Structure 1
Amino acid sequence: MSRITIGTAPDSWGVWFADDPLQTPWARFLDEVVEAGYEWIELGPHGYLPTDAHRLSEELAARSLKVSAGTIFAALHRPDHYDEAWAQVEQVAALTRAVGGTHLVVIPGQWRSDTTGEALEPRTLDDEGWRRLASGMDRLGAAIQDEYGLQMAFHSHADTHVDTQDEIERFLAMTDPDAVKLCLDTGHVSYSGGDNLEIIRRYPDRIAYAHLKQVDPQVVAKVKAEDLGFGDAVKLGAMVEPPQGVPAMPEVLQALEGLGRDVFAIVEQDLYPVAPEVPLPIARRTSSYLRSCRLPQA
């Protein structure tokens, strides 16, 4: 059995951008993470938390907090995008490593804007686009390991070209299992009609990391029927605190435990935008609920 290390992320406090007046200030976020009972966090969008490694280390140490991962976006299906992606890696991976993180979560480029819902490019990739995406992620994952000693965890995401379970499976079949692991985001998989337990069962060696998230099936049905963007879905309340949605957390956590290795499972409940007083009570309840699932709270 593996040890599941539970943590949380700025996303659960409504943080999507490095700087936005609608978001909770970073110091309040860190303080409230502690109040909610968590010890592990992700860095969130680069520039939200302090980017000076010494200062960030001091802020974390003052609250006895630890970092699991940083995050970047990489639209490697687009020609000539690798250098832009690597520029993000150089900033985020360096900071992640400096503060003790072990993973870099990589989210593919979105075909639709998460703020306006506007289509920015075709919804699906052609074969050449898939080849660029897969080879680019292989190259990126290997370089992240070689240069920074971090494991890349690829994050399927709504309104990207790796969204549905079929697309996740195609992506996994086309990429190097050593360089490219999967960040299993339970909410995004369910949002797109996938089966989290089946993915864990079929691809146990590819799962290196997890995001714990639930969706409201009724809201998601409305979103799909009206072809709304993910940003609008979040505003409608598509992402809900457990155990109010799907997938069922105890079964997912049990399956992750059965992988036989240590796994970070980071709580993410998309809340952007949200009033500053809303996230903390939700985070407290979520932390308590996860403890009730008989998993160690780390």
Structure 2
Amino acid sequence: MRLAAAPISWGVCEVPGWGYQLSVARVLEEAARLGLRDIEAGPPGFLPSDARAARDLMQERRMRVIGGFVTATLHRRDDLDRELGGVERQAAWLRDVGADVLVLAAASGRDGYDAPVELEEGEWRTLLAALPRAQKIARAHGLELAFHPHFGTVIETRRSIERVIAQSDVPLCLDTGHVFLGGGDPVAIARDHAARVRHVHLKDADASLAAAVRERRMGYADAVARGLFRPLGDGGVRMGDVLAELVRARYDGWAVLEQDIALRARPSDDDAPERQIARSRDFARAHIASYDVLTMGRVSVDLYPEQIGVPLAKVTTFAKSLGGSATNVAVAASRLGRRAAVITKVGADGFGDYVREALAGFGVDARHVGTDVRYRTPLVFCEIHPPDRFPLLFYREPTAPDMTITVDELPRDAIRDAQVFWTTGTGLSAEPSRSATLLALETARGMRFHDLDHRPALWAAGEDPSRWAMEAARRANVIVGNTDEMEMATGQRDPARAASALLALGAEVVVVKRGLEGASAFTIEGGVTVPGIKVDVVCGLGAGDAFGGALAHGMLAKWHLPHALAFANAAGAIVASRLACADAMPTPREVEALLANGRATSAGVA
């Protein structure tokens, strides 16, 4: 389940006289600060009507549009072609800005949301016949349709929702607040019809105000202005139960924090919508039991030279970025829409503060980032000599905080429940991190990935990295490494022979990253190789981590191995064509575009 934002939570609405409208800049800035870099499009006019301008605006802020809300009158036969034409225009815009989902509500054909509408049988037949047409439009534009029961539309009541479910196969947008407002049970929908839920709007509602609106004793807009919709957990909707049912069903779509509000005036800092949204975000995170991807291991602050092709002695300025293999993989997964977190440690210093802030900005849960007051947050300097030489200088002496993680500090419930748990070879290079890493692999119940991630400079003389790599392999389902790392672990440089040795230990999949030659994956049934993708290399650092995050994303999606490998290869190629690691991680649309046309963009990350 992936959290996203909605502009209506900041009071942005197309209804005339709705209230004070905040600027797009403020809404996007606050959403990013909350770690919600994925957002719905909002009403017409909120984002530029020109799709390229809208996409560029989002890319500048490392954000993206995931979907948009569209209304159409679907029960009037004479108007249907015109209404679906409007849906198609919106679908084209959403496609061009890189969205995933078209959220469609069946408008009443009247102004406002207050007048109830009961459809006649002929109107029902027209509406039900229109839904497959709308779904076909969405698919033609590369979008998924999610039909939205919404108060004040022709599908608002429990009975009308049940009829749509029974007499169509259209995917649903479960809006918890609107279902509750119409007298339905959002928990029952999440429990009994989870397979139909394609998109979720999470909103709580004040029970007494909801009853007044439902019984038409109060207008909808008036109730919203009075605080109808509440931060999650503050209202009458059983939000914890809804989220529990979605988690139980392994719902894997977007969960949008959508608390409709109306602002009377420009809010003060003490009364900012951001505070309410943060409460909903924290509630949702606390009730979503598992992470899609939880990584454990190295973190650093990477300093990249702004002068290319010169040694460190000649560099005059550096650019700062988040780094460290495990940290980068978590960021890569988050950029692809996965709920991600990292288990690591930083020092009690300004760079440690930066790590937490940067993780939050990338949408990665930082609650498992600890602090060791004895040691400084690691720094890494690099030289950039394209296309294939990027030497690193590590500042991790006498040790790094992330190497002091102990078995007692492991968040075992989070590790146990994560769908993907990812460890790295650096975590095996010294105690107490070594024992903690091995125990964490034993604790995990989801897919257990081990990235060989061999950095010789981080191993003390006399240590045996091969021994500990094989110990980790015995506890993992999926082993990932490049050719050099495979040789370190198994003594075999040939990918197939190295994979055979690791499969014999119990691994289910062995993935070998082969740079320009592509990537190979092996199981007991055989192997598959996908070719490399040629790009203009700027900096190869972080490409392997982008590959890892994308591989986890593909395997979570249950893609066939060739598809998952090709997607991961493309993600790595994109990062190789850019400067920095975490900041360069691509979005799904960027990866898909490279696979489609063979060209990577070197522009800012979306």
Structures share fold, TM-score greater than 0.5: yes
- 2:11 maps to 14
Cα distance, 1:18 vs structure 2 = 8.3
Contact map agreement 1:39 1:64 (CA 8 A) in 2? yes
1:95, CA displacement in angstroms? 2.1
Q: Which runs of 4+ in 1 moved over 4 A?
A: 18-21, 294-298
* 1:250 counterpart SS class: helix
1:108 is matched with which residue? 106
Tell me the alpha carbon deviations over residues 173-217 of structure 1, each in whole angstroms, 9 at most, x when there is no partner.
222x2xx21000000111122111211222222111100001110
RMSD in angstroms over aligned alpha carbons? 2.2
Write out aligned runs for 1:213-252 (5 A).
Answer: 213-252=203-242
The equivalent of 1:83 in structure 2 is: 81
Point out where structure 2 has 5 or more consecutive residues left out of the alignment. Answer: 292-338, 340-362, 364-606
The answer for the alignment partner of 1:286 in structure 2 is 280
Alignment-derived partner of residue 30 in structure 1: 28
Q: Which residue of 1 aligns with 2:356?
A: none
Q: CA–CA distance in 2 between the matches of 1:225 and 1:53?
A: 41
For 1:97 and 1:165, the matched residues in 2 are separated by 32
Q: Does 1 or 2 have the higher relative contact order (CA < 8 Å, sep 6+)?
A: 1
In 2, distance between residues paired with 1:254 and 1:28? 33
**Which residues in structure 2 correspond to 1:1-80 (within 5 Å)?**
4-17=1-14, 22-80=20-78
**Aligned-pair CA distance for 1:131:** 0.7
Deviation track 1:95-120 (CA, whole Å, cap 9, x = no partner) reads 222222111000111365337x4x4x
Q: Distance in 2 between matches of 1:237 and 1:111?
A: 26
Pair 1:153 & 2:157 matched: no
**Contact 2:73/2:107 (<8 A) preserved:** yes
Q: Indicate the residue corresponding to 1:200 in structure 2.
A: 190
Deviations 1:15-61 (A, max 9, x none): 12188772111122111111222121000112221122222222212
Q: In structure 2, do the counterparts of structure 1 residues 126 and 80 end up closer, same or farther at CA, with 3 Å as the change threshold?
A: same
Aligned CA distance change for structure 1 residues 224 and 172 (closer, same or farther; 3 Å):
closer
Deviation at 1:124, TM superposition (A): 0.6
* Structure label with greater radius of gyration: 2
> Higher mean Cα deviation, 105-114 or 147-156?
105-114
Q: Secondary structure at the match of 1:72?
A: strand
* Residues 77/226 of structure 1: CA separation in 2 closer, same or farther (3 Å cut): closer
Aligned to 1:188: 178
Contact 2:68 2:101 (C-alpha < 8 Å) held by counterparts: yes
CA deviations 1:49-96 (Å, max 9, x no partner) are: 112222222221222212221121011112322233233223321222
| Residue aligned with 1:45, SS | coil
* Structure 2 CA distance for partners of 1:223 and 1:86, relative to 1, 3 Å: closer
> What secondary structure does 1:281 align onto?
helix
User: Percentage identity across aligned positions?
Assistant: 34
Measured after TM superposition, the shift of residue 251 of structure 1 is 1.8
Pair 1:174-2:171 in alignment: no
- Shift in CA distance, 62/274, structure 1 to aligned 2, threshold 3 Å: farther
Aligned to 1:124: 118
State the SS of the aligned residue for 1:81.
helix
One-letter amino acid matched to 1:162: I
Q: Would you say how many aligned residue pairs link Structure 1 and Structure 2? A: 287
- Identify unmatched segments of 5+ residues in structure 1: none
C-alpha deviation, 1:271, in angstroms: 0.6
Q: Is contact 2:233-2:240 (8 Å) kept?
A: no
SS of the residue corresponding to residue 208 of structure 1 reads strand
Report the residue type matching 1:13 in the other structure: W
Given that residues 37 and 284 in structure 1 are in contact (C-alpha distance below 8 angstroms), is that contact kept between their aligned partners in structure 2? no
Distance change in 2, residues 1:169/1:224 (3 Å)? closer
- SS for the counterpart of 2:78 is coil
Q: In 1, are the aligned partners of 2:181 and 2:214 still within 8 Å (CA)?
A: no
CA contact (8 A) 1:239 1:271 kept: yes
Q: 2: distance between equivalents of 1:200 and 1:247?
A: 13
**Which stretch of structure 1 is more off in the superposition, 25-34 or 83-92?**
83-92
Alignment check: 8 A CA contact 1:156 1:188 kept = yes
Aligned-pair distance for 1:242? 1.5
Query: CA–CA distance in 2 between the matches of 1:214 and 1:128?
Result: 34
Q: Is 2:180–2:186's contact at 8 Å kept on the other side of the alignment? A: yes
Question: Relative to structure 2, which stretch is displaced further, 42-51 or 184-193?
Answer: 42-51
Judging changes above 3 Å, is the alpha-carbon distance between structure 1 residues 212 and 139 closer, same or farther for their aligned structure 2 residues? Answer: same
Cα distance in 2 for partners of 1:103, 1:225 equals 32
Distance 1:170 1:193 in 2: 14
The separation in 2 between residues aligned to 1:185 and 1:274, in whole angstroms, is 25
User: In structure 2, how many angstroms separate the alpha carbons of the residues matched to 1:284 and 1:244?
Assistant: 13
What is the letter of the counterpart of residue 163 of structure 1?
E
In 2: Cα distance, 1:273 partner to 1:283 partner: 14
1:111 and 1:159 in contact (8 A); partners too: no
- Distance of 1:273 and 1:154 partners within structure 2: 28
SS of residue matched to 1:114: coil
